[in-house]
Structure 1
């Protein structure tokens, strides 16, 4: 059980951007040793299995040239489906110049939400959760009287709950950096959100935000009488042999095992932001993983091995709301006539993408260490992900 969970009372009373932004650990058992890329610092290493209708490998290789480049210090890209390609470029550390590691662990940001959605849908498949039941059935006392129409589990999964944002440790990278070693519990985050009352009637609009998935994390714990982290481990990470994926031990600010240093602009200076307590993001964005593990997860989800197929179709259904682009965690996007489903994750210094066509004819997973990671994510997506879908 996660230390953070052990310190919390089990009897809880809770009174408590997008695939394109138009698409933005504790020690892990069984971790394999890292092997550096056999290239000079800053150089790239790439490999591929050719396919006639495969990815645009020339564009992918070009994307890695020149790293580190003032913004991106390291990039790890994995492309699968009809034709595979992997590329690694950059350095582990700007200070040492040691070459990037293909198996480096990283903060996966909001791609965590895809795991949270899968956990909830597994509970639905088991008959323990009803998608269209009000969340208060599972978390009594969650909402004050101002919520005359409580959101359902489905509303939370599709970002249509009407909840307002919760407590945070800053709205800018600079503000968050000053608070990077503080702890903000999920209960405090949610309490601050619901105290503001509803933003709109549930189902009326789709607004991408973390609060919905923080509440879903609490729901998972309440229904299973177990920690969110342990449920993710026993239901998803272990069965899929995602040996290098997990969550920090409570407020632990470190990334354990092989990893790259992360950087952001703080006060106009390039600042190392690797050590950071991300516990306030929890079930919405606190996962640590590798590109190989996330590719394994992506394929298993799309093949129906994580969420049963009838529910998988619901996961990939966008609500009939004007402007909506998200199903349950995943976002729908069309590029070159192809329907793509994906999820981005961004934390200071880290940008992550999971994306695939429903038939898995093309998949892409990347982790990029970039100072621009929390800005408009489209340039990074266009550079490192879209070439996988260009042919």
Structure 2
């Protein structure tokens, strides 16, 4: 179904998100040769410096699509077998029967049964849905901590399993993608970041996308305000943060323009081949970090579409203080990417569940306008 194109409607929907409480956000929408870019609000609440649509941004788990694409590139070259056990490649990290039972595919689509390492790396941050007992101090304590990915993987592998290998629904876990990073290193002889940069970022011609080399975002960017469910009030800037706690799972820095270019080239078969792209779009049910059941492919998932509307494919991402959503219509003709500079703005109810806020509705409304007009 054809979408409408109204820059005024996009401007208004973006401004509504800012008015509903988001300090700042910026976005780009593309359809054919038409391009809209917009920004609303501030990048710095203290100075009033405005956000702009060309800012660089920590895109969180949108990184997973890049990592998955790099893995598929190695599958195409014959260095990785998607259905081989991870124990064949990394026996020291996933030993014994689990290493024999968990395949590479299960890591990419989150059906490995491996637990999330995050609650163990940041011990005062409990996993969803136990939000009532969370605390934000670990964010500050570990702002400049350099985490060892092998130690993080060990935390996830030795934690109680969240499922059986290959069983569904799977459970979304960053442990899976840290293992994929080590897998890329093992088969290429370079770091995962170097492999993803060479095989995906440079292949796509992305000029403003890359992995951080330290705790700072280089180039024009917004501050990132973490509220931690109202426990940090006012929200505190966490744009300065060592991102080794996520590495190739969620540390990428990009722009909304680069993300739209990347997803456009991916669905056009210009990053991985058609058969690999078909694998990426083959979904299984997975429980998200928020406890919702979603369909998930190989680093890519379909967004819920209104009746009669075409599905969009992409990925969302969050970091401390920042959020991103990037998506492309199944036919490749319409793309959208949006970045926001505050996270976890919902206070908790007595049961520890996030309370709905008008900001949630405003952001969802912008997503609808950006995707469907």
> TM above 0.5, one fold?
yes
- Which residue number in structure 2 is paired with residue 329 of structure 1? 299
* Matched-pair contact (CA < 8 Å) for 1:346–1:373: no
List runs of 5+ in structure 1 lacking aligned partners. 1-51
- Which residue number in structure 2 is paired with residue 48 of structure 1? none
Distance change >3 Å, CA 259–CA 325, structure 1 → 2: same
Q: What SS class does the counterpart of residue 156 from structure 1 fall into?
A: helix
Deviations 1:188-224 (A, max 9, x none): 1111121235432211121112111111011001110
Distance change >3 Å, CA 66–CA 214, structure 1 → 2: same
CA distance in 1, matches of 2:363, 2:69: 24
Distance apart, 1:140 and its partner CA: 2.0
- Which residue number in structure 1 is paired with residue 201 of structure 2? 237
* Matched-pair contact (CA < 8 Å) for 1:348–1:373: no
Distance apart, 1:365 and its partner CA: 0.7
Distance change >3 Å, CA 371–CA 177, structure 1 → 2: same
CA distance in 1, matches of 2:186, 2:215: 26
TM-score (norm 1): 0.80
Alignment of 1:335-354 (within 5 A): 335-336=305-306, 337=308, 338-354=310-326
Whether 1:280 and 2:273 are equivalent positions in the alignment is no
CA distance in 2, matches of 1:333, 1:101: 26
Whether 1:203 and 2:166 are equivalent positions in the alignment is yes
Larger deviation: 279-288 or 163-172? 163-172
Distance change >3 Å, CA 218–CA 76, structure 1 → 2: same
Distance change >3 Å, CA 287–CA 321, structure 1 → 2: closer
Distance change >3 Å, CA 59–CA 335, structure 1 → 2: farther
TM-score (norm 2): 0.83
* Matched-pair contact (CA < 8 Å) for 1:147–1:198: no
RMSD over aligned Cα, in angstroms?
Answer: 2.5
Larger deviation: 132-141 or 171-180? 171-180
Distance apart, 1:355 and its partner CA: 0.6
Which of 208, 211, 217 is equivalent to 1:247? 211
CA distance in 1, matches of 2:116, 2:252: 20
Q: What SS class does the counterpart of residue 249 from structure 2 fall into?
A: helix
- Which residue number in structure 1 is paired with residue 83 of structure 2? 132
List runs of 5+ in structure 2 lacking aligned partners. 126-133, 288-292, 347-353
* Matched-pair contact (CA < 8 Å) for 2:28–2:256: yes
Larger deviation: 216-225 or 364-373? 364-373
Whether 1:271 and 2:222 are equivalent positions in the alignment is no
CA distance in 1, matches of 2:159, 2:344: 32
Larger deviation: 374-383 or 137-146? 374-383
Larger deviation: 253-262 or 94-103? 94-103
Whether 1:185 and 2:138 are equivalent positions in the alignment is no
Distance apart, 1:287 and its partner CA: 0.5
CA distance in 2, matches of 1:70, 1:277: 30
* Matched-pair contact (CA < 8 Å) for 1:112–1:285: yes
Whether 1:317 and 2:282 are equivalent positions in the alignment is yes
Whether 1:306 and 2:306 are equivalent positions in the alignment is no
* Matched-pair contact (CA < 8 Å) for 2:215–2:242: yes
Distance apart, 1:372 and its partner CA: 3.4
Larger deviation: 143-152 or 86-95? 143-152
Q: What SS class does the counterpart of residue 245 from structure 2 fall into?
A: coil
Distance change >3 Å, CA 173–CA 231, structure 1 → 2: farther
Distance change >3 Å, CA 197–CA 100, structure 1 → 2: closer
Q: What SS class does the counterpart of residue 72 from structure 1 fall into?
A: coil
* Matched-pair contact (CA < 8 Å) for 1:55–1:387: no
Deviations 1:342-383 (A, max 9, x none): 210011221101111121122111111124379789646513
Whether 1:93 and 2:93 are equivalent positions in the alignment is no
Which of 354, 365, 370 is equivalent to 1:383? 365
- Which residue number in structure 2 is paired with residue 8 of structure 1? none
Higher share of residues assigned helix: 2
Distance apart, 1:67 and its partner CA: 6.7
CA distance in 1, matches of 2:259, 2:23: 21
